[in-house]
């Protein structure tokens, strides 16, 4: 997974859920297809310390997963909020994602700043990668900046060849070195 696409309305709904749950963390499910969200399902946070962690209510989680499946979608993401910290996964977030949902995006809504911030992550065992979070734009409008291995090698080779050519030209443009005469004895 390289990106997650949300509509403006979905992003606003997640932010509203996070703000309404403050100071507790909000949480929910994201259903969709091909990295594009189509369905958000808020779930009650039943964690022992809901202001610093989240745990989805089991019956709501199961009902939400069933709703996503009946609608013909896949679970493509989990969202939760960080009421007082940055939208960066905590060690607890990482452990939970690795254990329960390593194949889906993790969206974190931060309420630390005046304007809420959203960030998407792909958390797999031993690896945490930032995802491009596309809000309101189609994938076709978003250019891909990832280069293939062959393209990367071509750039490195071109840079090396350019450096060699520049050095060669520079050396030919230098004036000849002065003749050194031996010092008198």
Cite the active site residues: 25
**Burial of 102 from C-beta contacts in 10 A (0-12 / 13-18 / 19+):** middle
Q: Is the Cβ–Cβ distance between 87 and 118 less than 8 Å?
A: yes
Give yes or no for a cis peptide into 23 (omega within 30° of 0). yes
Distance of CA 14 to CAs 39, 55, 107, 117, 144, Å?
11, 17, 9, 11, 26
Q: Which residues of 161-180 are buried (b: 16+ CB within 10 A; e: fewer)?
A: eeeeeeeeeeeeeeeeeeee
- What are the structure tokens assigned to 86, written together? 């940055």
């Amino acid at each position: 997974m390289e990106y997650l696409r949300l509509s403006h309305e979905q992003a606003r709904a997640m932010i509203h859920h996070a703000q309404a749950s403050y100071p507790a963390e909000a949480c929910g499910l994201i259903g969709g297809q091909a990295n594009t969200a189509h369905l958000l399902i808020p779930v009650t946070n039943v964690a022992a310390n809901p202001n610093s962690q989240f745990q989805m209510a089991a019956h709501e989680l199961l009902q939400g997963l069933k709703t996503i499946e009946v609608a013909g979608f896949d679970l493509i993401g989990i969202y939760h909020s960080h009421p007082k910290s940055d939208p960066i996964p905590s060690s607890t977030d990482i452990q939970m994602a690795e254990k329960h949902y390593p194949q889906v995006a993790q969206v974190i809504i931060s309420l630390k700043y005046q304007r809420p911030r959203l960030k998407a992550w792909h958390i797999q065992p031993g690896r945490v990668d930032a995802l491009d979070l596309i809000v309101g734009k189609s994938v076709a409008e978003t250019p891909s900046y990832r280069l293939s291995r062959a393209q990367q090698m071509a750039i490195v080779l071109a840079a090396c060849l350019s450096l060699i050519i520049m050095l060669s030209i520079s050396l030919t443009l230098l004036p000849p070195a002065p003749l050194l005469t031996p010092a008198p004895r």
